A and B are shown apart, each in its own frame.
Chain A
């Protein structure tokens, strides 16, 4: 069964450092998302990406964040200068098309710890 994969599974970084979280969405999917989940809290939308551009972003997704699809398979989330409050699980997701009932597949997540 196709799945979304994410690397690394756990990233530890110092405050102020840049991190890049990587995702490989399901190959024929067209819409890509990043969500985050602070420990014990709900899953929050960060950004959606379609046709090589951001289609929507939340207020959390400020200038410190950027996304990129550098090739035909990878989808990355970059945090330019990490803060303590960026510590969370980051989930990548992908979906086949724009119809709402297309299932959104989530990756296993990357746990980001900012020290």
Chain B
């Protein structure tokens, strides 16, 4: 119930392409869904986040799509760049409690 399932485990995309990472959850108490970007040797950094009363949120090249009925959400990276190569974690929170992370997706954008 506390898990967030993330796929794929790794992703290779050509420069300029679209990167898509998918996540699913079970716990309906989750009310905040952040995505984190992590570069090697660094801590996770908040990339973009969404609340379940919204179906889509866009910030620059990054878009979250949220399907509350299916309990699924996804991250789309448009016009992917080599600098986007990192590990991406979806996550979920309920109130001020712990953040539950997905397993992570290693994205590599080929130049």
Chain A residues within 8 Å of B, Cβ to Cβ: 4, 31, 33, 35, 41-45, 48, 50, 55-56, 58, 91, 93, 95, 97-109
Contact = CB atoms under 8 A, between A and B. Distances in A.
Contacts, number: 66
B12 interface: no
A106 B94 CA distance: 18
A44 B4 CA distance: 12
A42 B46 contact: no
B11 interface: no
A51 to B, nearest CB: 12
B26 interface: no
B32 A106 contact: no
B22 interface: no
Interface string B71-111: 00000000000000000010001111111111110000000
B96 A45 contact: no
A35 B93 CA distance: 14
B13 interface: no
B95 A100 contact: yes
B44 A43 contact: yes
Given A31-B96, A42-B104, A56-B97, A100 B44 contact: no
A99 B96 contact: yes
Contacts of A56: 97-98
Contacts of B95: 98-100
Contact of B97 (A48, A103, A107, A108): A48
Contacts of A55: 97
